[in-house]
Structure formats: structure tokens, C-alpha cells
Amino acid sequence: MTVVPPAAGEPRRPEGPRNPGDAWVVAESGEKYWGRFGAAGLLAFDPARGILLQHRVSWSHFGGTWGLPGGALHEGETAIVGAIREAQEEAGVPDGAVRARFISVLDLGIWAYTTVVADVVRPFDPVISDPESVALGWVPVDEVAALPLHPGFGAAWPALRAQLEVFPAVVVDAANVVGSVPDGWWKDRAGAASRLRGRLEGLAVPGTDLGVDGDLWFPEVSMVVEGQARGLNTGGDSASVSVIKADAAGDDAIVTEVERQVAAGRTVVAVTSDRALRERVERAGAARVQSAGWLVDLLARAERASG
């Protein structure tokens, strides 16, 4: 693997200090890939308008084609942070305008490109904010394939388009998950439920665990609490985690939430180790049922990875 700086006619950034990631990775075959630490792009999806595409300036790599706002990652930068940063630099995407739904990674060994697929949660109009774009626009999903696409994006688009129809949701039996770890939760059930809710924020789940394609998904989460746990502090609820306080039996509330999510067209994964409840949520339409231990392990791995 060789890393070389850009030469005349190759991608250039606005004047200013160059980031070490802004360089070509050259394979032994001679193929070049932009981004010493890999690259990432943002596929922003607005159901009313389509996806945000960038018409690349002629002097850029594969100039004249349409693709996603994106570029080289900085050293140590996550793909989501990098994709949004690049989209802000190239298309003026405002802070908080999108929420990541899943990521798809093309890993070539010497170099990797990550597509961050995100739903628009606050509509915006793109703004050309650097010299790398001829035009920016929202393109209806059915019209994307008719454009002259960047080869990499063109190859990935059919699979990405199919995944745009998938909306995973995770319904958590909070009492079962909290009770699976003997950490004194019985002394403060509401506090234990509050801690679980905080840990569920930004939950990232491998697609294989959800039964869907895609490397890593960020599903909407419904956490059902009952009894004394209903006293938890729900301040700061977000779009990714909602707390449902069961008025009566928690199991009934969980089944009702699964039915609601299925009716809304979501791919539902229920989390419980209760055998009888497992059978009920499967009948209610849950695509998969994962154990409390599965979720506890998933959260622990994520926390270890984040340091």
C-alpha cells in the first residue's frame, strides 16, 4: 500500500491546513482510493423529496458524475462523524438535521468506504459550500438510477435502495433485562430502569442480529416498564428511545407495542427471555426475539469499545 498526496487536477480542499487523511491510497494494481484513513459519505433520505446527491466538479475524481457528499476521514474519526462533517462542508447539512439509520461498509483491505444512511428529521435545503460541487439536489428515489452516477455509488445503489424500505424497531422487556443482572436492581427499580434507558441511547445492532442486510443499524427502541419501575425519570427522551409505562401487566403492554410497530411497517425485534412472552410476541408479528442476555452483552461490548 502506498499513500501519495494529490497532484494537479486531483481532489483539492479549500485553502488551509491539509488534514493527513487527505491523500490517495494506491493499491499494488495501481488503483487509487481517496482517504488515507478511509472515506465516508452521507446518504440523507427524505421520504418527501428523495436523497441528497452531489454533482461532482469536473476536476474531481470521476468528475461530472453524481454521488453522495463525503470524503476522506480524519485519523481516529468515526464514519458517522466523518460523513456528517463532510456533508456539512460540501452541502451545508445543518446540525441535528439527520439521524443515522444504518451503515454499509465496503472494505477492500487496504481501504474502506462507509455509506452512512440517515433519515432527515429536520428538512433543509442544501447549500454549495465548497468548490467540489457543480450542483446539489434532492433526487426522487425512482430517478436516481437515470443519472450518470459515480461508479462506486452506482454499484452500491440497488442494495441501498432496497434497504431504504427497512425500518427496524427493538421492543425491550425492561423488567426482564434489568432482572438478568444481579446488581442490586431490586433496591431501586426505577433507578435501574433509568440506567438501562440511558444505555439504550444510540443502540447499534449488527444487521445479522436483526435479520436484515446492512452492517450496523441504529433502530428505534421502545422500552416497556412496569410496577415500581414506572417511576423512572423520563426527562430527555429522544427519538431513538421511548419509554412505555405499562398501566397493568407489562407483558400485555409489550405485545401491544410489538403489534403497533408491526402495523407501522417496522421490522420488529423483541427482547425478552420469558418463554411465554416470546411465543406471544412471535404471534404478534415480531421478526425475531432476542434474549435479555443478548442485549446485556451487546451493551457491554459497545461500552468497552467506547472506552
| pLDDT tens for each residue of 250-273 | 899 999 999 999 999 999 999 999
Across the chain, mean pLDDT equals 88
Q: Which amino acid is at 18?
A: R
First to last CA, the chain: 30
Q: How far apart are CA 232 and CA 242, in angstroms?
A: 12
Q: What is the pLDDT of residue 13?
A: 46
pLDDT of 7 over the 70 cut: no
pLDDT tier at 184, thresholds 50, 70, 90: confident
The residue ranges of every structural domain in the chain are 2-163, 168-305
Element (H, E) at 149: none
Confidence of residue 283 (pLDDT cuts 50, 70, 90): very high
pLDDT given at position 10: 43
Contact 22/8 with Cβ under 8 angstroms?
no
- Whether residue 237 contacts residue 243, with contact meaning beta carbons closer than 8 Å, is answered with yes
Q: Tell me: the pLDDT tens digits for 205-255?
A: 999 999 888 789 999 999 999 999 888 877 655 567 899 999 888 899 999
- In this prediction, what percent of the chain has a pLDDT beyond 90? 68
**Structure confidence at residue 170 as a pLDDT band (50, 70, 90):** very high
Q: What pLDDT is recorded for position 270?
A: 97
pLDDT at 216: 95
**pLDDT exceeds 50 at position 4:** no
d(CA 169, CA 165): 13
pLDDT-derived band of residue 5, with 50, 70 and 90 as boundaries? Answer: very low
pLDDT at 154: 94
- Has residue 277 got a pLDDT over 50? yes
- CATH code: domain 168-305 is 3.40.50
d(CA 246, CA 86): 43
Strand, coil or helix: what is 266?
Answer: coil
Query: pLDDT by residue (tens digit) across 81-138?
Result: 999 999 999 999 999 999 999 999 999 999 999 999 999 999 999 998 777 778 899 9
User: Torsion angle, CA of 175/177/183/185, rounded to 10 degrees?
Assistant: -10
Domain 2-163 and domain 168-305 have a common topology: no
Evaluate whether 103 touches 115 at the Cβ level (below 8 Å): yes
Q: Comparing 185-194, 231-240, 269-278, which segment has the lowest mean pLDDT?
A: 231-240
CB atoms within 10 A of CB 221: 23
Say what the pLDDT of residue 1 is.
33
- Give the distance, in angstroms, between the CA of residue 30 and the centroid of all CA atoms in the same chain: 32
Write down the pLDDT at residue 66.
Answer: 93
CB 157 within 8 A of CB 67: no
Confidence of residue 62 (pLDDT cuts 50, 70, 90): low
Beta-carbon contacts of residue 66 (< 8 Å; ≥ 6 apart) = 53, 54, 55, 56, 139, 147, 148, 149, 150, 153
Nearest to 262 by CA among 280, 239, 243, 238: 280
**195-206 pLDDT, tens digit each:** 999 999 989 999
Q: Cell numbers 491523500 label which residue?
A: 23
The residue with greater pLDDT, 12 or 50, is 50
Predicted confidence band of residue 61 (pLDDT cuts 50, 70, 90):
low
Question: What's domain 2-163's architecture?
Answer: Alpha-Beta Complex (3.90)
d(CA 193, CA 32): 50
